[in-house]
Amino acid sequence: MKVLNKFDTDQLKISRVKTTPQNVQESNEGLFSAKLNLPKAADHCGMTHKEMKMIFWEYLKYHPPTYENK
């Protein structure tokens, strides 16, 4: 059994997810329908929070709301 040294940072690194068009689409749809929050959507497609915000704002430009104002 290996004892973790407090200076052993290899165990703390999180592997990055490869960004693909399918992952980005799933994240955008999850954000749009409020099934995902921003941190989870960004992690899902391997982006930073800022990158995910910028991509989602572009997504919103071309997708109208799905609700009606009465």
What pLDDT was estimated at residue 11?
Answer: 66
Task: Give the integer Cα–Cα distance in Å for 55 and 13.
Answer: 25
Task: Specify if 39 maps to a domain.
Answer: yes
Say what the pTM is: 0.74
Task: Specify if 21 maps to a domain.
Answer: no
Task: Specify if 38 maps to a domain.
Answer: yes
Please indicate whether residue 2 or residue 58 has the higher confidence score (pLDDT). Answer: 58
Pull the structure tokens for residue 46.
């391997």
Task: Specify if 52 maps to a domain.
Answer: yes
At 50, is the pLDDT very low, low, confident or very high (cuts 50, 70, 90)? very high
Give me the domain span that covers residue 55.
Answer: 34-61
> What value does the mean pLDDT take over residues 23-35?
96
Per-residue burial over 14-29, b = 16 or more CB atoms within 10 Å of its CB, e = otherwise: eeeeeeeeebbebbbe
**How many domains are contained in the chain?**
1
Task: Specify if 28 maps to a domain.
Answer: no
